[in-house]
């Protein structure tokens, strides 16, 4: 069942989203060669707690960290480690922030130092695919319209779209209805209504879209070792169009 949010509830989620966006702005200057993802995890947790918020992922179904930190061929749910990042890596940081009773969710991919043209193109296409999907998140469209435009945009540029992980409703719980696929046919799926709040979070690969899971039971990586990137926003559906609750403002 899709839980429709009131304008007041959306505003409370926006508060969480603004703080989450600020965390990503802070991370931009901290994702540099030599830093470890465990150090970034520590920074995020302390920043959130200092601002009266909580890293909702920590402890979720046993997940032990405040962020997911996925490097290069890791698609999502990467564990932070003591291994220093090196120039040329790409890193996706995904997190869920709770402020009071309400949540926001956003992932962002970062280039570490000087990255290759291949890696930069992947980041650019993945980010734009997300925004193309957001454009379709308007009252009266269907969820399949979002997935179709993301798949078409990515595949027309030679990339593949991960199927196993999808966008989702969010509110007082991390995962609510509806499910938001990043592939599919237009005109299919649930009709988009005012008051829905959900994520759009395509994961795009340079190679095949299929995944394999590490022994930790969490980390998904590309089956062929290709690079993967992800961008994610939480958005609320209004009569005036989608509001990006996790908008960073200057990217």
Q: Around 251, how many Cα atoms within 13 Å sit in the side-chain half-sphere?
A: 19
Q: Give per-residue pLDDT as tens, 90-134.
A: 999 999 999 999 999 999 999 999 999 999 999 999 999 999 999
Q: Looking at residues 49-57, what average pLDDT do you find?
A: 98
What local confidence, expressed as pLDDT, does residue 251 receive? 61
Q: Looking at residues 54-58, what average pLDDT do you find?
A: 97
Percent of the chain's residues with pLDDT above 90: 99
Residue-averaged pLDDT of the chain: 97
Q: How confident is the model at residue 249 (pLDDT cuts 50, 70, 90)?
A: confident
Backbone angles phi, psi at 142, to 5 degrees: -110, 160
Interior CA angle at 131 toward 101 and 92, to 5°? 65
Tokens, residue 46? 């302390």
Please count the other Cβ atoms lying within 10 Å of the Cβ belonging to residue 46. 12
Res. 250: pLDDT tops 80: no
Res. 241: pLDDT tops 80: yes
């Amino acid at each position: 069942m899709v839980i429709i949010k009131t304008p007041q509830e959306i505003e409370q989620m926006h508060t969480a989203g603004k703080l989450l966006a600020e965390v990503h702005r802070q991370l931009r200057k901290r994702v540099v060669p030599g830093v470890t993802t465990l150090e970034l995890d520590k920074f995020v947790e302390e920043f959130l707690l200092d601002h009266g918020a909580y890293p909702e992922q920590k402890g979720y179904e046993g997940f032990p960290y405040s962020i997911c930190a996925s490097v290069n061929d890791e698609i999502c749910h990467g564990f932070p480690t003591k291994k220093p990042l090196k120039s040329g890596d790409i890193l996706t940081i995904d997190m869920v922030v709770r402020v009071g009773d309400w949540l926001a969710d956003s992932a962002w991919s970062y280039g570490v130092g000087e990255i290759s043209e291949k890696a930069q193109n992947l980041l650019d296409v993945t980010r734009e695919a997300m925004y193309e999907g957001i454009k379709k998140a308007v009252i009266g469209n269907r969820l399949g319209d979002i997935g179709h435009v993301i798949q078409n945009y990515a595949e027309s540029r030679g990339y593949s779209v991960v199927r196993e992980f999808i966008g989702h409703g969010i509110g007082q719980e991390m995962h609510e209805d509806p499910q938001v696929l990043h592939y599919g046919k237009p005109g299919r799926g649930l009709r988009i209504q005012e008051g829905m709040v959900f994520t759009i979070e395509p994961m795009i690969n340079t190679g095949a879209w299929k995944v394999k899971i590490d022994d930790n039971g969490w980390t998904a990586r590309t089956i062929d070792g290709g690079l993967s990137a992800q961008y994610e926003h939480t958005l609320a559906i209004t009569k005036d169009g989608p509001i990006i609750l996790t908008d960073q403002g200057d990217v």
